[in-house]
Amino acid sequence: MITFGNTVKNGGLLLLLLSCLLVVTGCSSEKQEGAGNVRLLARVGNKTLDITEMEGMFYDSMSPEDSAAVIQAFVGRWVREAAILNEAERNIPPNLNINKLVRDYRASLVRSNYEKILVEKLLDSVVTQAELEEFYAENKLLYELEKPIMRCFFIKVPIPTPEGSRLRNLWNMESKASVADLQKYCNQYAEVALLDKNLWYAIEDVGKQLPDGTITTANVGSKRDFTQRDEHHQYYFRLFELKNRKEIAPLSYIEDQARKVILHKRKLQLVEEVKEDIYQRELRDNNVEILIK
């Protein structure tokens, strides 16, 4: 049975909730006098919820209405969870060893927490370019492209275009200095600016920034360098390199994934090495005894 008590009637719930809040925020001395003074909020079968389980959920500037809403929502969730737990307990299979499950789960939590501490303290998180290149050489066949990608310059600026002649001149120059100046211009005026030659972009992602059909996977190879405008924007596009679907992705495109894989393998190796060191230490200290033959 789920019950909130008789206080639900005639708005009494709000009064109970506010009085419970006072217990949390200002009546800590009552808690020290014994469990009999703890205010109960709900009961489901033999399970009870008291106000002490909500400590830390309130702050001084909370209005009475907000405090009541927090308590009511918490109680609502708790009674549902408690009801499900009661039903689950009534239907525990006779061959289910709860104590063993609890021990195994606790051991898993403790071990996982210790491994996390080990990784935070001991793992070298620096992945060098040489390591990335070695990983790529050994695994690049696993990184077949699912969609075409490209290296390009792309700029989208509003119309009327601010300092339009300056932008055209910068676009037509290809020195490092002009690219840097172009980036400064775009930082000030452009809505979109892709000006890193080393980065790869999905063709469809760039195409979304242009009028429909301007750049697609079917036509991008024939539109290597153009400017275009519509009612609202001026567009500049220059293609440097194209990789089609099913080709092997370049290292720079999968670098983040590669770095994560390298670090994950390094983490597993670190944990295994520490586990073996601990085991060998316990052997030397005669703390390991195998009792079966």
Position 176 confidence tier, pLDDT thresholds 50, 70, 90: confident
Q: What is the mean pLDDT of residues 86-99?
A: 90
Q: What percent of the chain has pLDDT over 90?
A: 68
No. of helices (H) and no. of strands (E), the chain:
9, 8
Both tokens of residue 4?
């909130």
CATH code of the domain made up of 145-243: 3.10.50
Three-state SS at 65: helix
Angle separating helix axes 64-90 and 12-26, nearest 10 degrees: 100
Task: DSSP letter for 27, please.
Answer: -
3-class state of residue 174 by DSSP: coil
Distance, CA of 251 to CA of 242 (rounded, Å)? 14
Query: For 64-87, what is the mean pLDDT?
Result: 92
How far is 97 from 254, CA to CA, in rounded Å? Answer: 46
Higher pLDDT, 34 or 243: 243
pLDDT of residue 213: 93
Q: State the Cα–Cα distance between residues 93 and 214, nearest whole angstrom.
A: 64
The sign of the dihedral angle between the CA atoms of 239, 244, 247, 251 is positive
What are the start and end residues of each CATH 3.10.50 domain in the chain?
145-243
What confidence category does residue 30 fall into, taking pLDDT thresholds of 50, 70 and 90?
very low
On average, the pLDDT of the chain sits at 87
Give yes or no for a cis peptide into 94 (omega within 30° of 0): no
More confident residue, 156 or 98: 156
pLDDT at 4: 53
Is residue 178's pLDDT more than 90? no
pLDDT for the residue 28: 41
Q: For residue 179, with 0-12 CB atoms within 10 Å meaning exposed, 13-18 middle and 19 or more buried, which class applies?
A: middle
